[in-house]
Amino acid sequence: MPYLIPPRTPLTPMQAERGFDYLLALQMGSDAAVAGRAQADPELAFVLLRLAEDIIWPVTAVDEESTDPCADSFALDKVGCALLSALRDWARDSPTTAAPGIAAASSGSR
């Protein structure tokens, strides 16, 4: 089953800034800068999930119109769907612990 990104409004500039600030702090290895942010900002996991969708989905989804699909492209599509589904479940079930994991999955850090 394909990963379905629900219809949504775009992130506000403030939400996008908060998400990227968190990603940058995490990539810089500043654990002190990110410690407690997820607990203080329960929306952070969902902002990071939406950023992850915007980063991962376009790279992994099969675009049958502009490329010639092959077995590898369908495998990549399935991996992207599985990753985004897992991240969505994590964000729903435990937003405070999901934030660092979603950030790491989106940025390739840690």
d(CA 68, CA 89): 32
Return per-residue pLDDT of the chain as tens, 110 residues.
455 656 667 888 998 888 888 888 777 776 666 777 777 777 888 888 888 888 777 777 776 666 666 666 777 778 888 888 888 888 888 888 888 888 888 776 55
Domain locations along the chain: 13-107
Say how many C-beta atoms besides its own lie within 10 A of residue 88's C-beta: 19
DSSP 9-41: PPPPHHHHHHHHHHHHHHHTT-HHHHTTHHHH-
> Is 0.75 topped by the overall pTM?
no
